[in-house]
Structure 1
Amino acid sequence: SIAPYTIEEAYEVADAIERGAWADLEGELGDLLLQVVYHGQMGAEAGHFDFDSIARQVTAKMIDRHPHIFGDESRDKSAAQQTRDWEAAKAAERAGRDAGGALDDVALGLPALMRAVKLQKRAARVGFDWPDAGSVISKIAEESQELVEARDSGDRAHLHEEFGDLLFVMANLGRHLGVDAEEALRDANAKFTRRFRAVEAALAEDNRRPEDSSLDEMDALWDRAKAAERGG
């Protein structure tokens, strides 16, 4: 299967976008497009579909899901109404495929954090959801305590389970707060990278490396980098 390569190419496209690297993005989009061509050819050889049918299907899908653009519906719909119409169209498509339960067609191959949010959204559509963000925050406190108890028990399997539960609830909190969990974590990763590189750069000015420095020294440089970012 070339599926892992397709996923890798998609991440490389996302990386180029995040970095604002337009020169790289053109090439990465080409690599991703080549994956579509590959899969189209394999589908054609197996007698299932080809590149042309892929293009026709996505064209038809976009037309069906955007009646306010391609159909007779009003173009004055709000963004919120357009989103509701889009979700209704997708739900109708899933019903037509006889997908089964509410969670059955949430792709297993999604990144775990993204899949958690999708599972939560699907459950919420059928009424299985926390009433508000405050309830989720209370659940986080409960799960945090259970994680501490699992750590103290020395049961690694239980610790693994409770850590996963806490991550799942954190993703749910992001959904209730209107914060994209995947994007927020990417931003946190980028912030950590910037600040740690600033620590490395400050140490390098004295011909030193992090492994040659104390934690207190690095903490002080970290605080300095944080203050500099905030204009302090």
Structure 2
Amino acid sequence: MTDGIPRLVEVMDRLRSPGGCAWDAEQTHASLAPYALEEAHELVDAIEAGDRAHLREELGDVLLQVVFHARVAQEHPEDPFDLDAVADVCADKLIARHPHVFGDEEAGTMRDHLERWDRIKAQTQGRESVMDGIPGTLGALARAQKILGRAERAGLGDDAPVAQDGSLGSALLALVARARAEGLDAETELRAATRALETAARAAEQAGRGDTQGSSG
């Protein structure tokens, strides 16, 4: 392994410090938040495109967001922390949530693993509901999947059935539930269908331009 991470931290420190970049020096956690969302979406695009070079670049952009936020956090007057502290918290969390790997619990089934993960998160983060911690910024489709998954793992599927009131919303939610039942990711399926539509629309657009140019000639 090379010194890529320490080098990136040094570059970020230079940009953020006096004599560095004025734009970088002005950023806050709040001002950087939209970029984190954007870079995460671009990473997913790279994954689905299967472009390794693009994937490497987009992973770097996501990493930059973490390093940038950690650098901003160092300057907090009352509760500063750095990238090492972020990494330590992450490592501690992974160890705590995998007692079947780092402790003496039995691994069990995949369902056992997911239920254990939710239980440990609830205990360590003081959650009162299995629905706590689902980001409000998630798109409606992704959020629906998350809520259905949490309800199912908590054994609430029968107590909180998908409403069938004839509305478009309930019909969409029922489709998400169907995707889960079939082992599909509704977000991925819709993105694939949308990409196919976009490709067809672009092809039709180009064909239309060709016809126009041919007739004008």
TM-score of the two chains, using structure 1 as the length reference = 0.65
CA deviation after TM superposition for structure 1 residue 91, in Å: 1.9
Q: Where in structure 1 do 4 or more consecutive aligned residues deviate above 6 Å?
A: none
Cα gap change, 1:87 to 1:41, in 2 (>3 Å): farther
- Name the residue aligned to 1:174: 179
- Residues 124 and 83 from structure 1, CA distance in 2 versus in 1: closer, same or farther, beyond 3 angstroms? closer
Pick from 172, 184, 187: which aligns with 2:189? 184
Match of 1:103 among 131, 136, 155: 131
CA-CA distance at 1:37 after TM superposition = 1.2
Residues 130 and 187 of structure 1: CA distance in aligned 2, closer, same or farther (over 3 Å): farther
Residues 35, 88 of structure 1: alpha-carbon distance in 2 compared, 3 angstrom cutoff: same
- 1:175-213 Cα offsets, whole Å, 9 max, x none, are 22222111110111122123223333444443369xxxx
Percent sequence identity over matched residues? 37
Counterpart of 1:168, as a letter, is L
- The Cα offsets for residues 119-156 of structure 1, whole Å up to 9 and x where unpaired, read as 1222223433259xxx97xx6xx54xx3xxxxxxxxxx
2:122 partner letter: R
Q: Secondary structure at the match of 2:178?
A: helix
Of the three residues 49, 52, 69, the one matched with 1:39 is 69
CA distance in structure 2 between the partners assigned to 1:116 and 1:72 by the alignment:
35
Q: Which residue of 2 aligns with 1:85?
A: 113
* Cα deviation, residue 165, structure 1: 2.9
Q: How much has 1:88 moved relative to structure 2?
A: 0.6
Change (3 A) 1:95 1:10: same
User: How do 1:1-232 and structure 2 match up within 5 A?
Assistant: 1=30, 2-46=32-76, 47-67=79-99, 69-71=101-103, 81-82=109-110, 84-130=112-158, 142-143=164-165, 146=166, 162-207=167-212
Structure 2 spans left out of the alignment, 5+ residues: 1-29
Greater helix fraction, Structure 1 or Structure 2: 1
What is the CA–CA distance in structure 2 between the aligned matches of 1:125 and 1:26, rounded to whole Å? 34
Distance 1:165 1:31, change over 3 A: same
Q: Runs of 5+ in structure 1 lacking a partner?
A: 147-161, 210-232
- 2: distance between equivalents of 1:69 and 1:177? 29
Q: 1:84 to 1:99 in 2, by over 3 A?
A: same
**TM-score normalized with structure 2 length:** 0.69
Distance verdict in 2 for CA 1:172–1:208, change over 3 Å:
farther
What is the alpha-carbon distance in structure 2 between the residues aligned to residue 90 and residue 48 of structure 1? 29
More moved, 90-99 vs 4-13: 90-99
Deviation at 1:26, TM superposition (A): 2.5
In the alignment of these two chains, the number of paired residues is 181
Query: What amino acid does structure 1 have at the position aligned with 2:196?
Result: K
Change (3 A) 1:99 1:59: same
1:36/1:103 CA distance change after superposition, 3 Å: same
What is the CA-CA distance between 1:15 and the residue it aligns to?
Answer: 1.3
SS in 1 for 2:212: coil
Question: Which stretch of the first structure deviates more once superposed, 191-200 or 52-61?
Answer: 191-200
Give the residue type in structure 1 aligned to 2:141. Answer: L
RMSD value, Cα: 2.9
